[in-house]
Amino acid sequence: MDELYKEYVISYFDKKLRIHGDRPEALSYSAKGQLMRFETVLDIDTELQGKRVLDYGCGKGDFYQFLKDRNIPVLYTGFDINKNLVHIARRKFPECRFEVFDIEKEDLEEEFDYIILCGVFNLNIEGLDETIQNVLKRLFDHCSRALAFNALSAHDPNKDFQLHYVYPEELFEFALKYLSPHAVIKQGRIPYDFTLVVSKKLH
């Protein structure tokens, strides 16, 4: 993604954060919508306890709070390109590791059991489909068990011009070709919302 576009994304969520504070709306979610998407992402596996989980595009660490609320202890790491969101996450969850990190510019030198991306690439930005593919390929190289990526379906007849939509079938074909034969599309709990789950092998 072009650096100017990244600055736009950062400023967009900085503005949302100033308006809404530490609420799901700061990340363009409703509380119910965020919860339903997290529940779908949680379908990545039934045995997350004690595993190393990377939340890429972690925002304020809300997915970690979601896991805590369900008594699912994990070794959690959160990466985001927005330093202000990372600052809030660090303050709220000092027991976790949060970093300002951009895998398009920096080398990732560690491995995680599970990597999740929830609502990371939802803003309508030029060339975003290519960015999504590049980021997923790079992250999957550092995932020992499975990766889950949540997105908005391009089949939605009522699109918002500010948002980016992905064709599930095209993303599925990409995953099979470049990531792993163990890929599945899970329809979300919200209409026209889906999650791609790609595993290293069948468990």
CB 80 within 8 A of CB 57: yes
Domain boundaries, the chain: 3-199
The answer to whether the CB of 80 falls within 8 A of the CB of 88 is: no
Select from 88, 115, 111, 86 the least CA-distant residue to 99. Answer: 86
Number of Cβ within a 10 Å radius of residue 148: 22
Residues in CB range of 27: below 8 A, 6 or more apart: 13, 16, 34, 59, 60, 62, 119
pLDDT in tens, the chain (203 residues): 778 778 878 888 888 888 988 887 877 777 888 888 899 888 888 789 999 999 999 999 999 999 999 999 999 999 999 999 999 999 999 999 999 999 999 999 999 999 999 989 999 988 899 999 999 999 999 999 999 999 999 999 999 999 999 999 999 999 999 999 999 999 988 999 999 999 997 55
Q: What is the CATH number of domain 3-199?
A: 3.40.50.150
Q: Where are the beta strands (DSSP E) in 17-81?
A: 52-56, 75-80
Find tokens 């954060």 and name the residue.
17
Strand 75-80 and strand 112-118: the pairing is: unpaired
The two three-digit tokens of residue 63, written as one number = 């997915």
**What one-letter code names the amino acid at 125?**
I
